[in-house]
């Protein structure tokens, strides 16, 4: 299956989550390094991530909904357009609908993990670990290459310098002279450090060095940004850009910042892949599963704090909302413990 790859055209079906997309980068770099021409099929919201990966030859934006409907007809139509173009497909999500397009396109080799009764849609199937055996996600994706030495893979992103310069000029910011907070998490509130804590941290940091703090996030997180501004006593140094930047602009902002403070989220992985000093706050999820692979990262997780009592026996639960209603895995993380150096 791995021989004579020099002329192979490969289609990669991308995950739907930003952080997961970042964590696929080492796999794509491996494929390109061995001679495969890599095209990535991604939803429009995720496509900009792959444009920050120089080894991706083409990014194809998929005209499908992010969640829910199978949209078989639309997938069949696009599959016909791909007919004969690709020799190999890598299906990164575990869903049945993600495996449909390569099958409908008649791609001879279709590689992915077993899941959702899609045995017949894949020609090369890897065993999917159970929920109690969650692996680190980067080697999980890299293993689809069929290569064995994937344990040390680390994602890397590259933001075009023109995008960085344009962002800094538009907002009158200087490289390395501001901090970034990414207080959201699309997955759910059980991964979000309280906005009140972000507000307290903002006041501590502004008192310490006086630098602006830029808030980044999606339009769905505007209320979080507004609360942080209010909790930070409406200090003018807190710049609330939540919901007002494109994904590429957010990447540009992060690439030039002094530090990033975030939850376990997609922007956390972006900061890690750009090697920005960062504080990553974990609660319901686990840094053993989705760590920021960055030597300049500090992980804050009360589960690992032996002095914290009573112990967090419920963590990691990987739930979207705290089933006990207290979310103390995050609520008890102090602003001082999240203060960047």
Domains in the chain: ranges and CATH: 9-145 (3.40.50.2000), 161-338 (3.40.50.2000)
Are 18 and 184 in contact, with CB atoms under 8 Å apart? Answer: no
Token look-up 């960047």 returns 340
Q: What is the pTM of this model?
A: 0.94
Query: Is it the case that residue 2 has pLDDT exceeding 70?
Result: no
Over its C-alpha atoms, the chain yields an Rg (Å, rounded) of 21
What pLDDT was estimated at residue 162?
97
Q: How confident is the model at residue 135 (pLDDT cuts 50, 70, 90)?
A: confident
Query: Is it the case that residue 244 has pLDDT exceeding 80?
Result: yes
What pLDDT was estimated at residue 81?
93
What pLDDT was estimated at residue 7?
73
Are 40 and 55 in contact, with CB atoms under 8 Å apart? Answer: no
Are 178 and 164 in contact, with CB atoms under 8 Å apart? Answer: no
Residue that wins the pLDDT comparison between 64 and 311? 311
What pLDDT was estimated at residue 204?
98
What pLDDT was estimated at residue 336?
97
Query: Is it the case that residue 4 has pLDDT exceeding 60?
Result: no
Query: Is it the case that residue 251 has pLDDT exceeding 90?
Result: yes
Q: Smallest Cα–Cα separation from 147: which of 90, 99, 78, 76?
A: 90
Cα–chain center distance at 197: 23
Query: Is it the case that residue 5 has pLDDT exceeding 60?
Result: no
State how far the Cα of 118 lies from the Cα of 121, in Å rounded to an integer.
5
Averaged confidence pLDDT in the chain: 94
Q: How confident is the model at residue 6 (pLDDT cuts 50, 70, 90)?
A: low
Q: How far is CA 147 from CA 23, 27, 45, 129, in A?
A: 17, 10, 30, 18
What percentage of residues in the chain have a pLDDT greater than 90?
Answer: 88
Q: How confident is the model at residue 254 (pLDDT cuts 50, 70, 90)?
A: very high
Query: Is it the case that residue 21 has pLDDT exceeding 70?
Result: yes
Token pair in block for residue 183: 């207080």
Range in 16-30, 35-49, 62-76, 301-315 with the lowest mean pLDDT: 62-76
Q: How confident is the model at residue 143 (pLDDT cuts 50, 70, 90)?
A: very high
Q: How confident is the model at residue 3 (pLDDT cuts 50, 70, 90)?
A: very low
């Amino acid at each position: 299956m791995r021989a004579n790859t020099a002329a192979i055209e490969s289609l990669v079906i991308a995950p739907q989550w930003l952080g997961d997309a970042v964590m696929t980068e080492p796999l794509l770099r491996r494929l390109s390094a061995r001679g495969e021409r890599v095209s990535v099929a991604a939803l429009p919201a995720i496509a900009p991530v792959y444009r920050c990966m120089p080894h991706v030859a083409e990014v194809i934006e998929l005209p499908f909904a992010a969640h829910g409907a199978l949209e078989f007809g639309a997938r069949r139509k696009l599959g016909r357009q791909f007919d004969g173009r690709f020799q190999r497909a890598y299906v990164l999500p575990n869903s049945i609908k993600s495996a449909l397009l390569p099958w409908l396109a008649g791609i001879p080799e279709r590689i992915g993990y077993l899941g959702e009764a899609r045995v017949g849609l894949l020609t090369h199937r890897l065993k999917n670990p159970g929920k109690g055996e969650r692996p680190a996600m980067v080697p999980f994706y890299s293993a689809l290459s069929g290569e064995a030495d994937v344990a040390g893979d680390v994602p890397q992103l590259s933001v075009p310098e023109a995008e960085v310069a344009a962002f800094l000029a538009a907002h009158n910011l200087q490289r390395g002279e501001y901090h970034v907070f990414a207080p959201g998490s699309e997955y759910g509130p059980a991964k979000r450090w309280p906005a009140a804590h972000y507000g307290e941290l903002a006041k501590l940091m502004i008192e310490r060095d006086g630098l602006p703090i830029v808030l980044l996030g999606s339009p769905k997180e505007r209320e979080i940004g507004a609360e942080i501004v209010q909790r930070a006593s409406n200090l003018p140094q807190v710049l609330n850009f939540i919901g007002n930047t494109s994904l590429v602009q957010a990447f540009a902002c992060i690439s030039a910042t002094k530090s990033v403070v975030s939850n376990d989220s997609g922007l956390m992985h972006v900061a890690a892949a750009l090697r920005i000093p960062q504080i990553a706050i974990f609660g319901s999820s686990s840094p053993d599963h989705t760590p920021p692979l960055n030597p300049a990262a500090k992980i804050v997780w009360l589960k690992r704090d032996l002095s914290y009592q009573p112990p967090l026996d419920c963590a990691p639960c990987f739930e979207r909302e705290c089933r006990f209603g207290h979310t103390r895995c995050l609520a008890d993380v102090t602003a001082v413990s999240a203060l960047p150096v």
